Structure 1
């Protein structure tokens, strides 16, 4: 059995908690989730999941995360064990973004004609297409294709379920594509999803290479650089930190699709990439979750900036290096 502790909160408190809290220092910290329960009224809620019935001290710590709930008693409920994956899949509606139709097994017999479908069931990894960031990236990929761009070398950094890498492969089937994630579980999920969606794995053209890596730090990613297209649907902080590395990995004139940031984080992210020689070519996504298409400027003349990029031995460019 497990338990859930719920309290009302403000949006500001929800955003603050998402960046970490005092609970993280506990030996067995609760899983804390915040969500908007009424968009019109601006009502938010904090839910903390714990394995055992929460002690008063833990309730006090959880209450301290949301000062706006002072004087209100938290709701504490015992959860009955259920098949959460199956339940979550039942609640996932299909998503159509550009030419892509992303669905779970429940909708496998309801694919609209003329779409490019992907079956992505609920899993441990992020990226089922339902979130605005993933849908925005799918639409941006479709937009890049319609403009006539033809990347031959593609990297999906922070791939999650592999969905964006699959979409790129469907658009440019002759390209070489590599997908990486810092979480080994995501790479296992991507491998399984590749089999389900008949996406070939390997190292040649038209195949997908997989790697566990923090950012671009992997021999296979370094060896294949520079890339005509880099996709990074992660978070604003890592996007800013990775700006120099993504700049090195992107070919002059190449594109970068960035997402995972909220609207107020767009300017700091853009500033980090402009410093590295990128310009904003297009903005997509939703008003709250923008998706940015950047182009790396070409450098001409004897003053052009060049940075050495470590070329690993081809033998290091291993597939599925977990």
Structure 2
């Protein structure tokens, strides 16, 4: 039997909990934490933590410390029937329309609008269903890039989660070669399942998606395929900054990088890390709180040795494969 612990929180607290939570990650069996808006007009939010065993006083106190606004409020603790609690945490996701894309769960399979490119991504043990602003922002940015006439032939999705962004890129550029990676083997398993559901061919040739379990660009297949015309990295600000030299080395001159997973106040330090690697800002999308950056790597003229990506990030310093 699994359990859910619920506490009220503010929007700022919810956004702060959207990335890594070191206090929970240090636990032997960390809970899955989900925040959601309860009432848009009232501005009320809620934290839900899913755990396998009945939570003790120490865990309840730790969860309360994450949401100071709930001081004095008793956590609601409820036993759940036997089920996949990660799936339960994502049930009820509304469809997302971003550019030409329509991302939905099985519950909305009969509600696909005409003229859209649909993807069925059910709740799973990996993130990236399209329901978060960062994922929706990346989908819209991919659509925007295609509208400019860009035609990347070699694509990498770093921290793929469910595979959604790689699927979307291949739908826009069906002759391209693409590779999707994630540090979490479960994410790659989910991506493989989602590829079968959505008719995405897996393989190493044009129009096919290769898969790799890897932190950042640290995989022989990723390095061998470099440089890329398009790199997508929807992870977190810290990993994005750490990986800037590697993503730059993996991106072809004139190529593009789509970066997301950062909040508004992190945009400047993230962009500064890539500007130092020869990128310029081509467009900004996403939402006010969750920006999505489209960067272009400046072309260099004259003789220069061929670049390869060399991984500099320590897998321990960041969580990849987030929203």
| Deviation of 1:39 (Å) | 4.1
| Deviation of 1:216 (Å) | 0.7
Distance 1:258 1:60, change over 3 A: closer
Instruction: Give the structure 1 partner of residue 9 of structure 2.
Output: 9
- Of 135-144 and 95-104, more deviation after overlay is shown by 95-104
Q: Does 1:309 align with 2:308?
A: yes
Instruction: Give the structure 2 partner of residue 257 of structure 1.
Output: 258
Distance 1:159 1:48, change over 3 A: closer
Instruction: Give the structure 2 partner of residue 314 of structure 1.
Output: none
Distance 1:308 1:145, change over 3 A: closer
Question: 1:89·1:104 contact (CA, 8 Å) conserved in 2?
Answer: no
Greater Cα radius of gyration, structure 1 or 2: 1
**Matches of 2:70 and 2:106, distance apart in 1:** 40
3-state SS, counterpart of residue 166 of structure 1: helix
| Deviation of 1:82 (Å) | 4.5
3-state SS, counterpart of residue 293 of structure 1: strand
**Matches of 2:68 and 2:113, distance apart in 1:** 48
**Matches of 1:31 and 1:249, distance apart in 2:** 33
Question: 1:105·1:119 contact (CA, 8 Å) conserved in 2?
Answer: yes
| Deviation of 1:149 (Å) | 0.9
Instruction: Give the structure 1 partner of residue 221 of structure 2.
Output: 220
Q: Does 1:139 align with 2:154?
A: no
3-state SS, counterpart of residue 300 of structure 2: coil
**Matches of 1:90 and 1:48, distance apart in 2:** 14
Q: Which has the higher contact order (CA 8 A, sep 6+)?
A: 2
| Deviation of 1:111 (Å) | 2.4
**Matches of 1:301 and 1:206, distance apart in 2:** 33
TM-score, with length taken from structure 1: 0.86
- Of 30-39 and 131-140, more deviation after overlay is shown by 30-39
| Deviation of 1:181 (Å) | 1.0
| Deviation of 1:41 (Å) | 4.0
What does 1:162-181 align with in structure 2 at a 5 Å threshold? 162-181=163-182
- Of 77-86 and 223-232, more deviation after overlay is shown by 77-86
Q: Which runs of 5+ in 2 are unaligned?
A: 311-323
What does 1:1-322 align with in structure 2 at a 5 Å threshold? 1-14=1-14, 18-82=19-83, 91-301=92-302, 308-309=307-308
Distance 1:251 1:14, change over 3 A: same
Distance 1:248 1:45, change over 3 A: same
Distance 1:35 1:100, change over 3 A: closer
| Deviation of 1:70 (Å) | 3.1
3-state SS, counterpart of residue 6 of structure 2: strand
Distance 1:284 1:12, change over 3 A: closer
Listed one character per residue, the Cα deviations across residues 240-276 of structure 1 (whole Å, up to 9, x for unaligned) are 1110000000000101111111111111110110010
| Deviation of 1:16 (Å) | 5.1
Distance 1:50 1:130, change over 3 A: closer
**Matches of 2:16 and 2:136, distance apart in 1:** 25
**Matches of 2:74 and 2:247, distance apart in 1:** 47
Question: 2:247·2:309 contact (CA, 8 Å) conserved in 1?
Answer: no
Listed one character per residue, the Cα deviations across residues 108-141 of structure 1 (whole Å, up to 9, x for unaligned) are 3332222222222221121222221111111111
Question: 1:100·1:116 contact (CA, 8 Å) conserved in 2?
Answer: yes
Distance 1:3 1:256, change over 3 A: same
- Compute the RMSD of aligned alpha carbons: 2.5
**Matches of 1:282 and 1:214, distance apart in 2:** 27
